[in-house]
Amino acid sequence: MSLVLYRKYRPQLFFEVVGQDHIIGSLKGGLTSGKFSHAYLFTGPRGTGKTTVARILARAFNCENLANGEPCGKCGSCRMVARGEAMDIAEIDAASNRGIDEIRALRDGIRFVPASLKYKVFIIDEVHMLTKESFNALLKTLEEPPAHALFILATTEIHKVPLTIISRCQRFDFQRLGIDRLTERLKKIAKAEKAKISEEALRFIGLASDGCMRDAESLLGQIIASGDKKIELEDVQKILAVADSKMIFDFFGVIFSGDRYASFLIINDLVDRGIDIQHFMQDAISHLRKLVFMAVCSSGKTDSVFCDNVLNAEKAGKEARFFDEWTDTQKKMAYSQAIGLKTENFIGILNIFVKALDDLRKFPLPQMALELAALEAIEELEGNFLADDSKTVADKAMPLKEKGQSIKNNRINAVDKENKINANKDVSSNEAVLEIKEKTSHSELTIDSIKNHWDDVLKEVKSHNNSLFAFVGASLPRELENNILIVAVKYNFHKERLEEMKNRLIIEEALEKVFGKKIKLKFVLDQNLTLSQKISEGAKDLVSSALKIFGGKIVE
């Protein structure tokens, strides 16, 4: 079913081909003047019309009444080709197993004159898939082609085609179709099929197909087949299970405003709608790339000049094409997002999302990678995220020193209840801290007291790095041996993250602040670990928000 529309509406004449105007013009010119090459090489992304144009060209070479470069469709040759009876036109799929045999047969049979047409035409699809041996055979033929033979080679991967072959062909580069041309074409097909479908829905199908006509047409076929009622944008989104640009704008809107909670809500919503997270991340990366581009384009220009170049379709400059997937309102929204951020921020956030996409498989649930990326992106914007190891933990700790009071308060929380009761209520907080420090350094620190004050460690880590805090919150202190604290974690990716030097240092520093003592860390894997723990009332919110990320719960 999916290919039906594609076959049904496959262009039979040059003028029906969408896009690729420069190629069609040049081919028709050659046909009309009679000065055409004997070997053509069509290269470009899949679904851009290479094979379609090759077939029309093969008919045009042989047409007896060529009119302005178009095959007539009525002469004996045209009719024979249309019936599929023309033995002189051969299509070879180099990707198939028979490729080698077919090239060999081609080499042996090529010297015989055509059976019924003017020219023998060989269309070799996916030519880059040929073996070395086949390329050599093909090269010999291309070096001295008989006057009655023509070759049309097509490839999606030009870099895999030997230069010796390329240099003997006239090369044409097929371009990905622009969204407007694609939508226009889909609209025509929908009309011919008498399908009721909104223009936004058609445009969305075009966008989802990424410039590939074949995909766009087969998607349209599936969607039309799904029912009789009028098809709206939401129906298409549901069928494709991909997010539209509005969701992406919303997602980055909350990230740029630093709203962690809202970013989680949006991710939850994506999951509820069954949207593919990997796909969403790819879209997010391409969105960021466009924002970077917008920031770069707009730098050094006044608002009005830039807006004329990008936002005003009538005066649109070269830059405008890059943003043609967005509506005018979205372009303005993107512009306000882009000018509000520094280039370094963009690079940092882009790196975070690229890494998250890369790490996707390491997470038990794909949305965890996205959640973490969202948190890290916000940290990056707030200047807290250690994007590389060049920043030292000491640098990061600087602003914290100014928050001395809160650190002291943490220390007070850290002492045993007993100490608090014994402490003289009249002493100032400074003296209290001193007393605690002395107390802890004289008495042995035990694993129980670490467990009891784990939430203070969490608070300390949270003030440094929110995403790291989530990881620490989902781990459990196990044992303390010779000042080495053994901490259990459930997942390997989680362990790897905690073991990273910069993260380890942050946690060790937090331990030192809370317990007044240098403690080294060792992480162990425990796949049976339940992420439940008994914690103090005050830290419940803090810990539960960390546990939520990892699907754990608090034991009452």
Q: Which residues bind Zn ion (CB under 5 A)?
A: 63, 71-72, 75, 78
Q: How far apart are CA 248 and CA 222, in angstroms?
A: 25
Residue whose CB is less far from Zn ion, 75 or 158? 75
Q: Please state the closest distance from residue 78 (CB atom) to Zn ion, in A.
A: 3
3-state secondary structure of 536: coil
Question: CA torsion 255→258→262→268, rounded to 10°?
Answer: 50
Question: CA torsion 55→61→63→68, rounded to 10°?
Answer: 100
Residue whose CB is less far from Zn ion, 63 or 92? 63
Q: How far is CA 302 from CA 298, 311, 331, in A?
A: 8, 13, 16
Q: Please state the closest distance from residue 65 (CB atom) to Zn ion, in A.
A: 5
Residue whose CB is less far from Zn ion, 75 or 447? 75
Q: Please state the closest distance from residue 72 (CB atom) to Zn ion, in A.
A: 4
Q: Please state the closest distance from residue 154 (CB atom) to Zn ion, in A.
A: 23
Residue whose CB is less far from Zn ion, 63 or 189? 63
DSSP 366-410: HHHHHHHHHHHHHHHHTT----STTS-HHHHHHHHHHTHHHHHHH
Q: Please state the closest distance from residue 79 (CB atom) to Zn ion, in A.
A: 8
Q: How many C-alpha atoms does 278 have within 13 Å on its Cβ side? A: 7
Q: Please state the closest distance from residue 60 (CB atom) to Zn ion, in A.
A: 8
Q: How far apart are CA 245 and CA 251, in angstroms?
A: 10
Q: Please state the closest distance from residue 31 (CB atom) to Zn ion, in A.
A: 12
Q: For residue 172, which phi and psi values (nearest 5 degrees)?
A: -125, 130
Q: Please state the closest distance from residue 114 (CB atom) to Zn ion, in A.
A: 15
Strand 170-173 and strand 39-43: the pairing is parallel
Q: How far apart are CA 238 and CA 385, in angstroms?
A: 35
Q: How far apart are CA 268 and CA 144, in angstroms?
A: 64
Residue whose CB is less far from Zn ion, 72 or 387? 72
Q: Please state the closest distance from residue 27 (CB atom) to Zn ion, in A.
A: 16
Cβ 251 vs Cβ 281: under 8 Å: no
Residue 385, Cβ density class (10 Å: 0-12 exposed, 13-18 middle, ≥19 buried): buried
Q: Please state the closest distance from residue 148 (CB atom) to Zn ion, in A.
A: 18
Nearest to 450 by CA among 494, 405, 484, 499: 484
Q: Please state the closest distance from residue 73 (CB atom) to Zn ion, in A.
A: 6
Q: How far apart are CA 533 and CA 235, in angstroms?
A: 44
Residue whose CB is less far from Zn ion, 88 or 102? 88
Return all residues near 237 (Cβ < 8 A) that are at least 6 apart: 204, 243, 244
Q: How many C-alpha atoms does 178 have within 13 Å on its Cβ side? A: 12
- The kind and range of the H/E element at 171 are strand 170-173
3-state secondary structure of 523: strand
Q: Please state the closest distance from residue 117 (CB atom) to Zn ion, in A.
A: 11
Q: How far apart are CA 472 and CA 460, in angstroms?
A: 11
Q: How far apart are CA 160 and CA 428, in angstroms?
A: 76
Residue whose CB is less far from Zn ion, 70 or 509? 70
Q: How far is CA 233 from CA 6, 201, 208, 240, in A?
A: 22, 4, 12, 11
Residue whose CB is less far from Zn ion, 49 or 71? 71
Q: Can you give the C-alpha Rg of the chain in angstroms?
A: 33
Residue whose CB is less far from Zn ion, 78 or 219? 78
Residue whose CB is less far from Zn ion, 71 or 99? 71
Residue whose CB is less far from Zn ion, 88 or 217? 88
Residue whose CB is less far from Zn ion, 81 or 381? 81
Q: How far apart are CA 338 and CA 340, in angstroms?
A: 5
Residue whose CB is less far from Zn ion, 40 or 61? 61
Residue whose CB is less far from Zn ion, 84 or 274? 84
Q: How far apart are CA 149 and CA 140, in angstroms?
A: 13
Q: Please state the closest distance from residue 28 (CB atom) to Zn ion, in A.
A: 14
Q: Please state the closest distance from residue 59 (CB atom) to Zn ion, in A.
A: 7
